[in-house]
Amino acid sequence: MTPRRAVRRVVSLVPSLTEAVAAGAPELLVGATDWCSHPAGLDVTRIGGTKNPDTARIAALAPDLVIANEEENRPQDLDALRAAGLDVLVTEVRTLDQALVELARVLHSCGLPRPDWLAAAAAAWRDLPARPAELTAVVPVWRRPWMVLGRDTFAGDLLARLGVRNRYAGHADRYPRIPLGELRACGAGLVVLPDEPYRFTAEDGPEAFPGLPAALVSGRHLTWYGPSLTRAPGVLAAAVDAALNTTAG
């Protein structure tokens, strides 16, 4: 099975997809967002953020393909790129299984063979050791106002596979705003604090949840889908275990 046409110039609007393409063929990428930080030193034209890309600059790069995501990128920007005559591939990722399928689709559309790291990522998430007891966690992604993971999120699916249940997985919204008082009183046994999109740190986040174990995790390993998935289970599990062990000690 071959791509429908040759692709020699790609603009990526998603950090995860930038890393995925660059892992095998960095020369294909001619443009990427300001947030595309991996691989380090990627020499491409920067076209703005995921939410405010410079569509005119993208069109001027004359890409054969623009790769995007339905959550990270705005419909009006993607429509503008299509109106400029560009081919736009839009991914949808709500679960690990979806991520693996969509990654294969993107790489195939770029004319790339299925990489070894994709199989390694699937294997890394298969047959994970069971946690002694399932944890319930709140997972803030922003503060001022406080926002947390809700239903149908990729990050929530990864945590569930590690035995960490998202307290707000049944919420009607995918990223609900929840008052801090409610978060503190919701009965969770853990707070998971990623370093993106809001950069939670040891000094900025845990103090809002006194007495609750706080796992500071790499946002790249929690929310990115790409080569980082191969190490993500170990990185995330270690952060959760460190939080629990520190509290127990």
* Residue 1, in any domain of the structure: no
* Residue 127, in any domain of the structure: no
Q: Do 90 and 56 belong to one domain?
A: yes
pLDDT digits (tens, 9 = 90+) for 37-67: 999 999 999 999 999 999 999 999 999 999 9
Q: Do 64 and 163 belong to one domain?
A: no
Q: Do 106 and 148 belong to one domain?
A: no
* Residue 45, in any domain of the structure: yes
For 59, the token pair is 């069109």
Confidence (pTM): 0.93
Q: Which residues have C-beta within 8 Å of that of residue 213, sequence separation ≥ 6?
A: 189, 190, 191, 243, 244, 246, 247
On whether the CB atoms of residues 225 and 122 are closer than 8 A, the answer is no
* Residue 144, in any domain of the structure: yes
Confidence of residue 248 (pLDDT cuts 50, 70, 90): low
Residues 111-132, mean pLDDT to the nearest whole number? 92
Q: Do 100 and 153 belong to one domain?
A: no
On whether the CB atoms of residues 190 and 136 are closer than 8 A, the answer is yes
* Residue 124, in any domain of the structure: no
**Whole-Å CA distances, 219 to 137, 140, 162, 200:** 16, 11, 16, 10
Of 198 and 1, the structure prediction assigns the larger pLDDT to 198
Residue 221, strand partner residues: none
Q: Is the dihedral of CA 68, 74, 77, 80 positive or negative?
A: positive
pLDDT value of position 4: 53
Q: Do 164 and 229 belong to one domain?
A: yes
* Residue 120, in any domain of the structure: no
CATH number of the structural domain spanning residue 209: 3.40.50.1980
User: Number of folded domains in the chain?
Assistant: 2
pLDDT value of position 15: 97
pLDDT digits (tens, 9 = 90+) for 218-244: 999 999 999 999 999 999 999 999 999
Of the residues 114, 147, 181, which one is the last residue of a structural domain?
A: 114
Q: Do 60 and 158 belong to one domain?
A: no
* Residue 128, in any domain of the structure: no
Residues 3-13, mean pLDDT to the nearest whole number? 85
Owning domain of residue 89: 10-114
pLDDT value of position 1: 41
Q: Do 25 and 110 belong to one domain?
A: yes
On whether the CB atoms of residues 87 and 65 are closer than 8 A, the answer is yes
* Residue 207, in any domain of the structure: yes
